[in-house]
C-alpha cells in the first residue's frame, strides 16, 4: 500500500533526480516507460525499476559512490559517459549500451548483472579495477570493440553468459581472479580469453570460432580448466606462455593451427581429448608437462612435440592417427611414458633426437606406417613394451645414440626390429623378437644382448656389419628362414652361453670378421652351422655343434678357426671343412659323424692341426685333403 502510494506520487515528477531526492533509503522507484536524459550521482540505497514493457531508457552518466547500493531492474541505460561505481550496483534484466569507450568503470566497487545485455562500447563494456568485484549470470556481451570485460587487479565470476564479437572476450590482468562456468565465447578477432599475470578458472564453458586464439595466458598466470571445450580457432586454441595450466576432461578439437602450446610453463592434462588440427596437436617448449588418461589423435602434423629442454610425462594416454611423426622429443628434452598407446600413424611413431631422452614402460607402439622409433643423437629406454606391426623398423637408431630394451616384445615389424648406424650403443635384456628381421648393426655400433630370444624371421635374423660389435649372453636365436647371424665387414661377435638352431641357411656367417663362441650350442641347421670366409677369425670353446645338413663348419679364403673343447656330432655332411689357404686348430674336442665318410676335410693349400681330439665315424675314413693341403693329428 505504501509502495503504491509512493509510485503514484512519483508519477508527478518528471526527472529521476527529483525522484531520488524524494525517495527514502532502500526504497523502490518505479519509472515510466519513457527516456530520462540526466546524469546523476546516487547517494542513497535505492532500487530503480523500469517499465514492464521495456520502454524505460536512462541516458546519461551515473555515479555510485562508496557505501551506496543501487539496483537497476528492467531498464535500458544509454551511457553518454562511463557509469562510475565505487559502491555496489546490481543490474537485473537490463540493457547497457553506448557509443563510448567504456560503459561501466567499477573502481574498487561491486557490480552484479543478471539476465542483462552489454553492447556497443568502443573499447570495453565493463572495466573492473582496483580490487573491484563482478558477478554476471545469464548475461549477453556482444559487439564491444576491444573487450567485453577488462579485469585488472580485481575478481569476476561469470555463469551461463554469452560473449561475442570483440577483439578479446575477457582481458584478465594484474593479479586478477576470474571464474567462468557454462559460458559461451565465440567470434573474437584476437582471443576469447586473454590472461596476464592472473588466475583463471573455467568449468564447462565452450569457446569456438575465434579468428585467432582461444585462450592465451602469459606472464606467470594460472589457468584451471574443467570440462572446457575449445573448437575451430584460426590460431592455437590454448596458448600458455610462462604460465601454468591444469586441464581436466577438456576437449580441444578442429582448430585451424595448433591445439595446445605450452611455452616456458607448466601443464597438467588429464582425461582430455586433443585432436583434428592441421598443425601439431600438443607442443611443449622449455616446459614441464604431465599428460594422463588423454587422447591425442587425428592431426595433419605431430601429436606431441617436446622441445627446448622440456620434460614431458605421459600416463595411460592414447596417441594415434597423425600424418607426421606422432611424438617428437628434441633439443635436450626428456619424455617418459607409461601404459600408453602410440598407434596407427602415417609416419614414425616416436622420434627422439638432438641429445634428448625418452623412456617408455608398458607401452604399445604399433601399426605406424614407418618405424616405431627413430633415435638420432639421443637416448631411448623401453621396458615391458610391445613394438609390433610397424611398416618400418621397430627402432631405428643412428649417430651416437643409446638404446636400452628390457622385457619387451618385438613382432611383425616390416623392417629390422632394431636397426642401428654410426656408433650406436644397444643394450637388450629379457626381450622377445620374432616375425621379422631382428637386429641390424651398421658402422661401428655396439650391442649387448642378454636373456633374449630372436626367432621366426623370414630374413637374416641378426646382421652385424662395418666394424660393429655384438655380444650375446644366455640368448636363443632360432627358426629363421634365412641366416641366423651374419658378421661381415670387419665386425665382431661374442656368443656366450647361448643357442642358435633351426635356420634354413647357415646359422652363422662370418666374412672378414671375428667371432668368439663360448659355452654355446649350434644345432639342427638345414645348411652349415658356421660359414667362415674372407680373412675371418673364429674361436670356439666348450661348445656343442650338431645336426647340420651341410658341413657343420665351413672355413675358406684365408680364414682361421680355433676349436677348444668342442663337440661336433651328428652332421649329415662333413663336420669340418677348410679350403683356400685357411687354417684350423682343434684341441681337446670330439668330432663324431656316422652319416658321412670324411669328418675333416682340407682343400686348396689349407692346414688343419688336431691335438688330443677324438675324430671318428662308422665308415673309418675321417680325413680328406687335396691340393697341397694337410691335416695333422698329434695323436698319430
Instruction: Write the secondary structure of 503-516 as one string of H (helix), E (strand) and C (coil).
Output: ECCCCEEEECCEEE
Q: Could you say which of 131, 166, 201 is where a domain stops?
A: 166
In contact, 477 and 454? CB cutoff 8 Å: yes
Cα 426 to Cα 375, 471, 565: the distances in Å are: 12, 10, 31
Grid coordinates in use for 552? 657343420
Q: Residue 332 is placed in which grid cell?
A: 635436450
Q: What does the DSSP 8-state code read for residue 608? A: E
Q: How much is the pLDDT for 3?
A: 46
List of residues 6+ apart from 376 with CB closer than 8 A: 351, 352, 353, 354, 397, 398, 399, 401
> To which residue does cell 587487479 refer?
153
Cβ–Cβ < 8 Å for 353, 330: yes
Residue 75: inside a domain, yes or no?
yes
**Does the pTM of the predicted model rise above 0.95?**
no
Domain final residue, candidates 166, 188, 219: 166
**How many Å separate Cα 364 from the centre of its chain?**
13
DSSP annotation of 32 reads P
Question: Does 73 map to a domain?
Answer: yes
Tell me if 280 is assigned to some domain: no
Residue 15 lies in a domain: yes
Q: Please say which residue of 148, 166, 184 terminates a domain.
A: 166
CATH number, domain containing residue 50: 2.160.20.10
Whether residue 476 contacts residue 454, with contact meaning beta carbons closer than 8 Å, is answered with yes
Burial (0-12, 13-18, 19+ Cβ within 10 Å), 9: exposed
Q: Alpha-carbon distance 87 to 44, whole Å?
A: 11
The alpha carbons of the chain give a radius of gyration, in whole angstroms, of 40
> Between the CA of residue 219 and those of 173, 223, 414, what are the distances in Å?
10, 12, 48
Only one residue has cell 585451424, namely 256
Answer yes or no: are the C-beta atoms of 329 and 350 closer than 8 Å.
Answer: yes
* Phi, psi angles (nearest 5°) of residue 16: -70, -35
Rounded CA-CA distance 427/443 in Å is: 17
Residue 569 is assigned to a structural domain of this protein: yes
What own/partner pairs with CB < 8 Å and gap ≥ 24 does 301-304 have? 301/277, 302/326, 302/327, 302/328, 303/327, 303/342, 303/345, 304/280, 304/328
Is the separation of the CB atoms in 130 and 106 below 8 Å? Answer: no
C-alpha cell at 341: 598407446
| Adjacent-strand bridge partners of 64 | 85
The continuous run of DSSP H or E covering 203 comes out as strand 199-203
Beta-strand relationship, 508-511 and 402-406: unpaired
Q: 124 pairs with which residues across the strands?
A: 102, 147
Residues (pLDDT < 70) of the chain are 1-13, 635-636
- SS3 state at 156: strand
Cell 670330439 locates to 590
Q: Which residue range forms the structural domain that includes residue 160?
A: 1-166
Residue 366 has phi, psi (to 5 degrees) of: -150, 160
Cα–Cα distance measured from residue 16 to residue 30, given in angstroms and rounded to the nearest whole number: 10
Contact residues for 245 (Cβ-Cβ < 8 A; gap 6+): 217, 222, 223, 224, 225, 238, 262, 265, 266, 267, 268, 269
Alpha-carbon torsion (177, 181, 183, 187), positive or negative: positive
Specify the pairing of strand 46-49 against strand 222-226: unpaired
User: What is the DSSP code (8-state) at residue 614?
Assistant: E
Instruction: Spell out the alpha helix ranges (H) of 13-128.
Output: 16-22
d(CA 522, CA 506): 10
Burial (CB count within 10 angstroms: exposed 0-12, middle 13-18, buried 19+), residue 620: exposed
Q: Yes or no: say if 124 and 149 are a contact pair by the CB < 8 Å rule.
A: yes
What's the pLDDT at 13? 59
The answer to whether the CB of 392 falls within 8 A of the CB of 414 is yes
Q: Which three cell numbers stand for residue 130?
A: 582496483
Collect all residues with Cβ–Cβ distance below 8 Å to 14 and sequence separation of at least 6.
none
Cα–Cα distances (Å) from 313 to 16, 277, 290, 345, 608, in that order, read 63, 22, 5, 20, 60
Is residue 76 in a domain?
A: yes
Alpha carbons 54 and 66: distance in angstroms, whole number = 29
Whether residue 407 lies inside any domain: the answer is: no
Separation of alpha carbons 150 and 140, rounded Å: 15
Whether residue 476 lies inside any domain: the answer is no
Q: Give the total number of structural domains in the chain.
A: 2
Amino acid at each position: 500500500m505504501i509502495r503504491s502510494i509512493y509510485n503514484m506520487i512519483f508519477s508527478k515528477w518528471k526527472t529521476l533526480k527529483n525522484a531520488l531526492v524524494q525517495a527514502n533509503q532502500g526504497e523502490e522507484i518505479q519509472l515510466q516507460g519513457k527516456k530520462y536524459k540526466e546524469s546523476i550521482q546516487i547517494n542513497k540505497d535505492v532500487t530503480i525499476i523500469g517499465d514492464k514493457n521495456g520502454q524505460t531508457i536512462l541516458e546519461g552518466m551515473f555515479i555510485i559512490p562508496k557505501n551506496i547500493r543501487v539496483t537497476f531492474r528492467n531498464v535500458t541505460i544509454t551511457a553518454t559517459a562511463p557509469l562510475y561505481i565505487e559502491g555496489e550496483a546490481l543490474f537485473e534484466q537490463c540493457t547497457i549500451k553506448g557509443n563510448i569507450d567504456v560503459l561501466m568503470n567499477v573502481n574498487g566497487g561491486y557490480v552484479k548483472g543478471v539476465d542483462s545485455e552489454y553492447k556497443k562500447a568502443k573499447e570495453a563494456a565493463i572495466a573492473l579495477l582496483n580490487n573491484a568485484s563482478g558477478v554476471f549470470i545469464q548475461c549477453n556481451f556482444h559487439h564491444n570493440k576491444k573487450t567485453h570485460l577488462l579485469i585488472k587487479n580485481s575478481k569476476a565470476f561469470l555463469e551461463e553468459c554469452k560473449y561475442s564479437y570483440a577483439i578479446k572476450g575477457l582481458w584478465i590482468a594484474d593479479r586478477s581472479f576470474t571464474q567462468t562456468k557454462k559460458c559461451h565465447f565465440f567470434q573474437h578477432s584476437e582471443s576469447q580469453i586473454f590472461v596476464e599475470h592472473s588466475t583463471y578458472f573455467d568449468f564447462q564453458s565452450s569457446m569456438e570460432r575465434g579468428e585467432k586464439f582461444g585462450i592465451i595466458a602469459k606472464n606467470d598466470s594460472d589457468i584451471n580448466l574443467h570440462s572446457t571445450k575449445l573448437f575451430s580457432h584460426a590460431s592455437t586454441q590454448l596458448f600458455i606462455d610462462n604460465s601454468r595450466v591444469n586441464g581436466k576432461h577438456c576437449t580441444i578439437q578442429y582448430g585451424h593451427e595448433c591445439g595446445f602450446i605450452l611455452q616456458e610453463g607448466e601443464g597438467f592434462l588429464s582425461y582430455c581429448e586433443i585432436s583434428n588440427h592441421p598443425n601439431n596437436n600438443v607442443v611443449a617448449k622449455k616446459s614441464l608437462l604431465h599428460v594422463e588418461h588423454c587422447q591425442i589423435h587425428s592431426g595433419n602434423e605431430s601429436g606431441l612435440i617436446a622441445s627446448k629442454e622440456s620434460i614431458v610425462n605421459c600416463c595411460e594416454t592414447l596417441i594415434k592417427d597423425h600424418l607426421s611423426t606422432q611424438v617428437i622429443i628434441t633439443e635436450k628434452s626428456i619424455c617418459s611414458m607409461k601404459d600408453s598407446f602410440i598407434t596407427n600413424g602415417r609416419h614414425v611413431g616416436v622420434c627422439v633426437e638432438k641429445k634428448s631422452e625418452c623412456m617408455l614402460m608398458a607401452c604399445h607402439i604399433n601399426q605406424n606406417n614407418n618405424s616405431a622409433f627413430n633415435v638420432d643423437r639421443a637416448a631411448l629406454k623401453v621396458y615391458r613394451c610391445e613394438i609390433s606391426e610397424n611398416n618400418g623398423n621397430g627402432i631405428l637408431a643412428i649417430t651416437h645414440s643409446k638404446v636400452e630394451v628390457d622385457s619387451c616384445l618385438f613382432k611383425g615389424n616390416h623392417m629390422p626390429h632394431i636397426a642401428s648406424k654410426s656408433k650406436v650403443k644397444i643394450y637388450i635384456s629379457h626381450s622377445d623378437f620374432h616375425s621379422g628381421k631382428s637386429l641390424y648393426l651398421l658402422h661401428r655400433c655396439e650391442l649387448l644382448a642378454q636373456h633374449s630370444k630372436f626367432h621366426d624371421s623370414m630374413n637374416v635374423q641378426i646382421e652385424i656389419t662395418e666394424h660393429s660389435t655384438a655380444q650375446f649372453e644366455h640368448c636363443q636365436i632360432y627358426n629363421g628362414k634365412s641366416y641366423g647371424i651374419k658378421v661381415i665387414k670387419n665386425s665382431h661377435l661374442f656368443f656366450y652361453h647361448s643357442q642358435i638352431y633351426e635356420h634354413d641357411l647357415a646359422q652363422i656367417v662370418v666374412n672378414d670378421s671375428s667371432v668368439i663362441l663360448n659355452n654355446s650350442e649350434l644345432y639342427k641347421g638345414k645348411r652349415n652351422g658356421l660359414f667362415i670366409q674372407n680373412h675371418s677369425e673364429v674361436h670356439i670353446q666348450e661348445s656343442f655343434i650338431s645336426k647340420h645338413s651341410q658341413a657343420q663348419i665351413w672355413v675358406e679364403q684365408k680364414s682361421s678357426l680355433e676349436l677348444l673343447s668342442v663337440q661336433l656330432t651328428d652332421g649329415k655332411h662333413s663336420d669340418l671343412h677348410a679350403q683356400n689357404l685357411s687354417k684350423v686348430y682343434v684341441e681337446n674336442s670330439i668330432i663324431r659323424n656316422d652319416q658321412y665318410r670324411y669328418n675333416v676335410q682340407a682343400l686348396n693349400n689349407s692346414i688343419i692341426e688336431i691335438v688330443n681330439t677324438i675324430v671318428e665315424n662308422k665308415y673309418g675314413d675321417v680325413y680328406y685333403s687335396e691340393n697341397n693341403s694337410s691335416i695333422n693329428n698329434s695323436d698319430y
